[in-house]
Amino acid sequence: MSEREFSPEDVARARADTPGCATVTHFNNAGAALMPRQVIEATTRHLHLEAQTGGYEAADRAAASIEAVYDSAARLLGCDRDEIALVDNATRAWDMAFYGIPFRPGDRVLTSMAEYGSNFIAYLQVAERYGVQVDVVPNDEHGQISVDALRAAVDERVRVISITHVPTNGGLVNPAAEVGKIAREAGALYLLDACQSVGQLDVDVREIGCDLLSTTGRKYLRGPRGTGLLYVRREVLDRLVPPVLDLHAATWTARDRYEMRPDARRFETWEANYAAVLGLGAAIDHALGWGLGRIQRRVTALAEQLRGRLAEIPGVRVRDLGVRLCGITTFTVHGAEADRVKSSLAEQGINVSVSRTASTRLDMDDRGLGEVIRASVHYYNTEEEVTELVRAVRALA
Ligand SMILES: *Cc1c(COP(=O)(O)O)cnc(C)c1O
């Protein structure tokens, strides 16, 4: 990856390539980032091709470009192309992995305080269905998953360690690689929800040591909505049973037999939105073009700046936890409802979002929080935009 930092000219170029930068001040990159022109073009080009030649015929013509998306995704995550499945969103990616684990009664699932709501609902469902025990590993004094507590919690009944890398409601980065070492020693599967980290941090599956990783296209990767991807480490492929199969995931080889594909695509379905898939590929290539190390440094520094300046405003409390922080900043404004802050900022052309209890209940309840305002920066945001946001929040506080 490039060691060069973002220069003012680079930021100007990134903004010039992002039509949305001309119309909004976008601090909702953890919700859906603004797509660059390259993504919009790749997507619409294929839609036009479908309109002109037919959907199947367009897919045939674009076959090499579609295949190249797997190479791009593999390069992004540091794995091989046959370890990638392209799916509709991060939730489906995660579901295909998690519900593919052949649970037995008495198995344990270990998770963290920062866990995402959809994942936890799935834990509750398999707990009901299979008699699986779900244990939440406490945080350490910094608010990240306690590596010591995790090590102490592990035993031979732990079937999977399933945690969130970066939560939806804050700047925390969980120590994913330390968790990976413990999972490997314990022989437990390791499923990482990297939905908020891929695209803003330099995420490498081999470095982290996860077996399974899910992420989405529309957030920090800047891809189209309705895209997601799943990494399945080759060595664990046959330890999972895909919860659903179709004639793409498997082949109907005889009247009473089928054979699953030998790669991670056994977690896909035949039908796909190829315009969106190609858009995702363009988004990944775009991120790789800048360099993920470079993106990580800029996003982290800009968020640090925002956090520091928000913290100086009387009545504003920054709510981010952790040792290592990323591009997401959450805060509360004393005496002002989060929705009112959000809508008031929206009237000024500034996008933020609100994160509520049900998205990350363990953490929010633990801290007595009902809602937080989330401002998530990307590399195309500027110091001037940070100032604009800080000024607008100050006026509301
Ligand atoms: C957004 C999010 C998801 C879900 O991603 P989708 O693409 O909407 O399915 C999962 N986990 C975390 C931590 C998220 O922030």
- pLDDT per residue as tens digits for the range 60-108: 999 999 999 999 999 999 999 999 999 999 999 999 999 999 999 999 9
pLDDT in tens, 166-181: 999 999 999 999 999 9
Give the ligand 1 atom nearest the CA of 164: 13
Contact 7, 298 (CB under 8 A): no
pLDDT in tens, 328-369: 999 999 999 999 999 999 999 999 999 999 999 999 999 999
Residue nearest to atom 10 of ligand 1 (CA): 195
Fold of 8-35+291-396: Aspartate Aminotransferase, domain 1 (3.90.1150)
> For residue 28, how far is its CA from the centre of ligand 1 (angstroms)?
14
> For residue 37, what are the CA distances in angstroms to 34, 46, 76, 286, 292?
9, 14, 20, 10, 19
Neighbouring C-beta atoms of residue 152, cutoff 10 Å: 10
In short, whether 355's Cβ falls inside 6 Å of ligand 1 is no
Q: Which of 308, 135, 280, 301 is nearest to 215 (CA)?
A: 280
pLDDT in tens, 234-288: 999 999 999 999 999 999 999 999 999 999 999 999 999 999 999 999 999 999 9
**Structure tokens that stand for 111 in this block:** 């998770």
Give the ligand 1 atom nearest the CA of 196: 15
Q: What are phi and psi of 267, to 5 degrees?
A: -95, 5
DSSP string, 189-237: EEEEE-TTTBTTB---HHHHT-SEEEEESSSTT---SS-EEEEE-GGGG
Helix (H) / strand (E) element for 366: namely helix 361-366
Distance CA 1, CA 18 (A): 22
**Structure tokens that stand for 23 in this block:** 């119309």
Distance CA 341, CA 333 (A): 8
> For residue 159, what are the CA distances in angstroms to 179, 233, 303, 367?
14, 16, 36, 29
> For residue 155, how far is its CA from the centre of ligand 1 (angstroms)?
29
In short, whether 88's Cβ falls inside 6 Å of ligand 1 is no
Q: Given this model, what pLDDT does residue 145 score?
A: 98
Mean pLDDT, the chain, as a whole number?
A: 97
Q: What is the DSSP letter of 170?
A: S
Q: Given this model, what pLDDT does residue 3 score?
A: 61
Q: What is the best residue among 28, 96, 118 to mutate for testing ligand 1's pocket, by most ligand atoms within 8 Å of CB?
A: 118
Q: Which of 266, 281, 276 is nearest to 230 (CA)?
A: 266
In short, whether 168's Cβ falls inside 6 Å of ligand 1 is yes
Contact 126, 139 (CB under 8 A): no
Amino acid at 328: I
Q: What is the best residue among 28, 29, 116, 174 to mutate for testing ligand 1's pocket, by most ligand atoms within 8 Å of CB?
A: 116
Residue nearest to atom 6 of ligand 1 (CA): 90
In short, whether 116's Cβ falls inside 6 Å of ligand 1 is yes
Amino acid at 242: P
> For residue 340, how far is its CA from the centre of ligand 1 (angstroms)?
24
Which class is domain 41-289?
alpha beta
Contact 102, 241 (CB under 8 A): yes
Contact 236, 331 (CB under 8 A): no
Domain with CATH 3.40.640.10 in the chain: 41-289
In short, whether 29's Cβ falls inside 6 Å of ligand 1 is no
In short, whether 303's Cβ falls inside 6 Å of ligand 1 is no
Q: Given this model, what pLDDT does residue 361 score?
A: 98
Domain with CATH 3.90.1150.10 in the chain: 8-35+291-396
Indicate whether 1 pLDDT > 70: no
Residue nearest to atom 11 of ligand 1 (CA): 195
**β pairing state of 353-356 and 371-376:** antiparallel
Give the ligand 1 atom nearest the CA of 168: 15
pLDDT in tens, 279-328: 999 999 999 999 999 999 999 999 999 999 999 999 999 999 999 999 99
Q: What is the DSSP letter of 19?
A: G
Q: Given this model, what pLDDT does residue 218 score?
A: 98
> For residue 392, what are the CA distances in angstroms to 32, 325, 328, 330, 396?
22, 24, 18, 15, 7
Contact 391, 327 (CB under 8 A): no
> For residue 44, what are the CA distances in angstroms to 40, 52, 58, 89, 223?
6, 12, 12, 19, 13
Neighbouring C-beta atoms of residue 248, cutoff 10 Å: 14
284: CB partners within 8 A, 6+ apart = 69, 72, 73, 75, 76, 221, 223
In short, whether 195's Cβ falls inside 6 Å of ligand 1 is yes
Q: Given this model, what pLDDT does residue 4 score?
A: 85
Helix (H) / strand (E) element for 179: namely helix 176-186
Give the ligand 1 atom nearest the CA of 89: 7
In short, whether 193's Cβ falls inside 6 Å of ligand 1 is yes
In short, whether 90's Cβ falls inside 6 Å of ligand 1 is yes
> For residue 96, how far is its CA from the centre of ligand 1 (angstroms)?
14
Average pLDDT over residues 140-144: 98
Distance CA 161, CA 186 (A): 10
Contact 220, 34 (CB under 8 A): no
pLDDT in tens, 3-57: 689 999 999 999 999 999 999 999 999 999 999 999 999 999 999 999 999 999 9
